[in-house]
Amino acid sequence: MNPKNAKGTARWFLSSMALFLIMWEGICRGFSIPAFILPPPSDVFRSLWDIREQLFGIHLWVTLREALLGLLLAILFGIGLSMAMTFSRIVERLVYPYLVISQTIPIIALSPIFILWFGYDLSGKIAVTVLFTFFPIVVSLYDGLRHTDPDMVNLLRTMGATQKQIFWKLQIPSSLPHFFSGLKVAATYSVAGATIGEWLGSSAGLGYFARRASGNFQAPALFASVVLLSLMGILLFWLVSLLEKRYFKTNDHIQK
């Protein structure tokens, strides 16, 4: 994307956002909607400012830490399992069908079970985050590894390449674009995972804060924490995109 284009995109985004906020504010005031049902954005931002010390002092960091640790663990597990499935037909046949089936179970239904197993402290939240982020990572990476061009594999074999060399020189680089798309999805899911982990039982974090605010009918505070969660998701997505761009800095040819 050239700078001029990026500028245009940013301008469109900001204008549409402003329009959206103005309409929201107008509807709330025009129809006199009670603030505990839908607070106007001005109230949300005021609340964000009023409780900034709680939000930015504690809760934001708690949630961010859970999301990042969970994501990191999911990446490690994901890489491990994808490699195991790539190298061993047996592991692949044993694991892959269940991996696909497991994606049909609503993750949110499994979350209480994970809390039960891993506890109400940090490890429980991390476990739920891993549950949310593991699948997009492992499926994208494994599919990437599996869909390496067989002609290229054959060419490397005629050069006398070992399995290991084919893996590092061919399969890994050609699966990276897939891996990054999976990671982008997982990065946004990690915030959802941490939030739900907190909902199910905790004493800090934006999820915990949002739930408490919702229980007390403090809609502006609830919306304020949701705004922060959304920003956190955007931030993580952006970080992964940055990493991706950095990796493919010298060429974007690999995307094709």
Partner 1 sequence: MAYGLSEGTLAVSPMLQFSQVSFSYQQRSILKDFSLQIDKGEFVSVIGPSGVGKSTLFHLANGLLQPDAGQIMLGDNGESNLLGKVGYMPQKDLLLPWRTVLENAALPLEIKGMKQEAAYRQVREQLPIFGLEGWADAYPEQLSGGMRQRVSLLRATLTGSQLLLLDEPFSALDGITKMEMQEWLLSLWRQLGITVLLITHDIEEAILLADRVLVLKAAPVQEAVEVPVSLGRPREGRLRYDPAFLAIREQIWDILTDAINAAGERGRRA
Helix axes 60-87, 219-247, angle to 10 degrees: 40
User: Per-residue x/- marks for partner 1, 95-134, CB under 8 A?
Assistant: ----------------------------------------
Range 217-256, binding partner 1 (CB under 8 A): 248, 250-251, 253-254, 256
Stretch of residues binding partner 1 (CB under 8 A), selected from 64-72, 85-93, 156-164, 208-216: 156-164
Nearer to partner 1, 84 or 153 (CB): 153
Rounded to an integer, what distance in angstroms lies between the CA atom of residue 232 and that of residue 66?
12
Contact status: 67 vs partner 1 (CB under 8 A): no
Contact status: 5 vs partner 1 (CB under 8 A): no
Q: Determine whether 159 is exposed, middle or buried from the number of CB atoms within 10 Å of its CB (0-12, 13-18, 19+).
A: exposed
Contact status: 53 vs partner 1 (CB under 8 A): no
Stretch of residues binding partner 1 (CB under 8 A), selected from 46-54, 112-120, 124-132, 166-174: 166-174
Rounded to an integer, what distance in angstroms lies between the CA atom of residue 82 and that of residue 128?
20
Q: What angle do CA 197, 200, 206 make, to 5 degrees?
A: 60
Q: Determine whether 17 is exposed, middle or buried from the number of CB atoms within 10 Å of its CB (0-12, 13-18, 19+).
A: exposed
Stretch of residues binding partner 1 (CB under 8 A), selected from 24-32, 76-84, 110-118, 154-162: 154-162
Q: Which position among 11, 29, 147, 157 is part of the footprint of partner 1 (CB under 8 A)?
A: 157
130 near 74, Cβ under 8 Å? yes
Q: What are phi and psi of 176, to 5 degrees?
A: -60, -40
Which stretches of the chain bind partner 1, using CB under 8 A? 149, 151-152, 154-161, 165, 169-170, 173-174, 248, 250-251, 253-254, 256
